[in-house]
Amino acid sequence: MKLLSFTQRDTPDLLRVGVSADESVLDLSALVPPGGPNDLSPMRRLIGGCTLRELAYARDKAPAISTDQIRLQPPVPDPSKIMAAPVNYIDHQHEMNESVHVDGLGVFLKAPSSVLAHGAIVRLPYLDRRFDQEGELAVVIGTRASHVDPDNAMNCVFGYTPLLDMTMRGGEDRSTRKSFDTFTPMGPCLVTADEIEDPAQLTLTCSVNGTVRQNTGVKDLIWSVPRLVAYASSVMTLLPGDIITTGTPAGVGAVADGDQVEVVIDRLPKLNVSVSAAGATTCPTRGADRGPVPPPVVTTLQERS
Ligand code: MN
C-alpha cells in the first residue's frame, strides 16, 4: 500500500493520511482522524495503531479526493528522529576520501524539522558554501524497538520511501550540515513493507536536471537494512514513524539555484524537488576548508567509469 500524508486546500492546518490511487487519494480520515499542528501526526498514529488488515478494510470504504484538491506533505511529517548512515557504500567512501565507513562512525541524527514534501523546494541557506544531493533509500520504523537482533530487525520495518539527505560540505558537525530546514525531502509516499520482500533487491538512481549522477543496487550497502536497523536500535529506542536513511552511493555533487533533483527507486514512486537559493546569506561558520574532501563539483557516471 502507498500511504501518504496530505492537507486539503480548505483546511491547510489539518494533516490527514490517505492511500495513493490513480489521480486520487483515498482519504483514511474515518480510520485515523485528522490532526492539528500540536497533535501527533495521523501517519504516526496510523503506524503505531493500525494493522495492514485494518488499513485495507478502511481503504476499500474510503472516499476518493482528486489529487488537485490536496497538498502533499512528507509521508511522516513529524518523526521523533531521523537516523542516518554516514558512509555506507564503498564507492562513496572512496569518492569522499574517507578513511572509515559506517562501522567506524555509527549513525548520526538529522533534525526532524528538516523534512520536506515531494514537489517542494529545498532552500540553500548560504551563497558561499557547497551543497550536495545524496539520494538514499529510507526505512520507516513500525514499532517501538530497542536492542533488536538483526534476524528480527525487519519486523520493525513498516515501509520504505525515497529520501534526499541534502548536505552542506565542510567541517561543521554532520548534524548541522544536514539539518537545515528543507534538507530532508521524502516521499511522495511510503510503501508498506509487505510490497517489498527484500530491500537489497532494489536499485536507486538520483538525477539532477535529468542527468544521472548516482546509480546503485541497495545490495551494495556496507551495513544492510537489517544490520543498520538493529544497530540503530542498540543506540536509541526506535519509535513508530522514525526514519532510518541508509546512506548514499558515489555520485554526490553540488546543486544550485534552479536545479531539479529526482530520486528513483524501483517499486517506489519517484521523489522530485527543486532547489532555490532565494534569500541565501553569507555563512557564519568557517568549516568550508575542513572535513571530508568531496569529488569535483559534479562527477557524472561516465566520468567515474
Ligand atoms: Mn547521506
CA 163 – ligand 1 centroid, Å: 9
CA 62 – ligand 1 centroid, Å: 37
State percent of the chain over pLDDT 90.
90
Confidence of residue 296 (pLDDT cuts 50, 70, 90): confident
The per-residue pLDDT for 232 is: 98
CA 200 – ligand 1 centroid, Å: 18
Tell me: pLDDT of 17 over 80: yes
Contact criterion met (CB below 8 Å) for 253 and 298: yes
User: Which tens digits make up the pLDDT trace of 18-28?
Assistant: 999 988 999 99
- Tell me the C-alpha distance between 2 and 24, whole Å: 12
Lookup: cell for 22: 490513480
User: Which tens digits make up the pLDDT trace of 67-126?
Assistant: 999 999 999 999 999 999 999 999 889 888 888 999 999 999 999 999 999 999 999 999
CA 12 – ligand 1 centroid, Å: 31
- Tell me the C-alpha distance between 117 and 71, whole Å: 9
Contact criterion met (CB below 8 Å) for 302 and 148: no
CA 134 – ligand 1 centroid, Å: 6
Tell me: pLDDT of 302 over 70: no
CA 167 – ligand 1 centroid, Å: 8
Tell me: pLDDT of 170 over 60: yes
CA 166 – ligand 1 centroid, Å: 7
The per-residue pLDDT for 291 is: 85
CA 245 – ligand 1 centroid, Å: 7
Among 57, 66, 69, 12, CA closest to 32: 57
Lookup: cell for 280: 541565501
CA 18 – ligand 1 centroid, Å: 28
Question: Side-chain half-sphere of 148: how many Cα atoms within 13 Å?
Answer: 25
- Tell me the C-alpha distance between 143 and 245, whole Å: 17
Whether the CA torsion 21, 26, 31, 34 is positive or negative: it is positive
User: Which tens digits make up the pLDDT trace of 115-158?
Assistant: 999 999 999 999 999 999 999 999 999 999 999 999 999 999 99
Mean pLDDT, the chain, integer: 95
The per-residue pLDDT for 298 is: 60
Q: What is the mean pLDDT of residues 231-248?
A: 98
CA 87 – ligand 1 centroid, Å: 7
Q: What is the mean pLDDT of residues 178-182?
A: 98
